Amino acid sequence: MIIAPSLLAANFGKFAHEAARLEKAGADWLHCDIMDGNFVPNISFGPAVVKTVNEATKMFLDVHLMCVNPDILFEPFVKAGADQLTVHVELEDRVAHLLWKIRSLGKKVGLAINPPTSIEAVKPFLKSIDLLLIMTVNPGFGGQPFIPETLPKIQQAAAWRKKMGLKFRLEVDGGINFETSVECARAGADTFVSGTGLLGEKQLKRAITKMRELTTKASSHSAR
């Protein structure tokens, strides 16, 4: 199981310090939510912030691009230290080229899908990705409640992964706390983004360890 706290819920005045604190608390990845004010109605932060964070930690940087034109940002984020770049399947006919471009930059390739989009949309790309990000809230803001209707999509993606003999990671993002992470793990998720759920905890190390243990147990008990 991979636990990936989201920087979006961190103190914006202390990004480098927060990243170091998350690393020390045992986070596996650091999830960076990039919003362009167009794909989603919000703006977060850009490559300069990711570079600062990269200098403060050795953590794997999982960069989620909620952007209409993510390709103009690929190189700046790679230079800033991104290890994985994730684009949205809602970009439709541009998706295949975007995935290829990330691969050609030598980075891990992620594909994200929003709650209203049919899971069928990702099927043609499953062989080309390292990570499928199933959004469990509508993207744009941290702190929203988990949408349980996304659980069957996780189950379907996990079933395809098994049937096709693929190894992409199955990540969930939005409203993830101890309870919802367990539901997602039972459905087949193995990578958990959590912003307000984890960063709101006083004892961060204990919270990260607890989420990893709960999801590992839930996954081994599921019928997959």
Q: Is residue 5 part of the contact set for ligand DX5 (CB under 6 A)?
A: no
Any catalytic annotation for residue 173? yes
Residue with tokens 């905890």: 201
144's contact among ligand DX5, Zn ion, none, with CB below 5 to 8 A by partner kind, is ligand DX5
Report DSSP state, residue 173. E
Residue with tokens 């996990």: 158
153's contact among Zn ion, ligand DX5, none, with CB below 5 to 8 A by partner kind, is none
Report DSSP state, residue 43. B
Phi, psi of 20 (to 5 degrees): -65, -40
* String marking each residue 41-80 x if it binds ligand DX5 according to CB under 6 A: -----------------------x----------------
140's contact among ligand DX5, Zn ion, none, with CB below 5 to 8 A by partner kind, is ligand DX5
- Part in contact with ligand DX5 (CB under 6 A); list of ranges 5-13, 70-78, 89-97, 215-223: 5-13
Instruction: Give the residues lining the site for Zn ion (CB under 5 A).
Output: 33, 64, 173
- 32 and 61 Cβ atoms separated by less than 8 Å: yes
Q: Please calculate the CA angle 93-95-99 and round it to the nearest 5 degrees.
A: 150
Separation CA 54–CA 16 (nearest Å): 8
- Part in contact with ligand DX5 (CB under 6 A); list of ranges 52-60, 83-91, 153-161, 189-197: 189-197
Helical residues (DSSP H) of 12-122, grouped into ranges: 15-24, 47-56, 71-80, 95-104
Which residue from 139, 150, 188, 218 is in contact with ligand DX5, where contact means CB under 6 A? 139
Instruction: Give how far the C-alpha of residue 139 lies from the chain's centroid of Cα atoms, to the nearest Å.
Output: 11
Q: How far is the CB of 74 from ligand DX5 (least distance, A)?
A: 18
Q: Is residue 84 part of the contact set for ligand DX5 (CB under 6 A)?
A: no
Any catalytic annotation for residue 36? no
Closer to ligand DX5 by CB, 104 or 145: give it: 145
From residue 217, alpha-carbon distances to 183, 188, 220 in Å are: 11, 12, 5
- 170 and 132 Cβ atoms separated by less than 8 Å: yes
Q: How far is the CB of 33 from ligand DX5 (least distance, A)?
A: 4
Helix (H) or strand (E) segment spanning residue 55: helix 47-56
Q: Is residue 37 part of the contact set for ligand DX5 (CB under 6 A)?
A: no
Which 3 state secondary structure label does DSSP give 165? coil
Residues binding ligand DX5 (CB under 6 A): 6, 8-9, 31, 33, 64, 137, 139-144, 173-176, 193-197
Which residues are the active-site residues? Answer: 33, 173
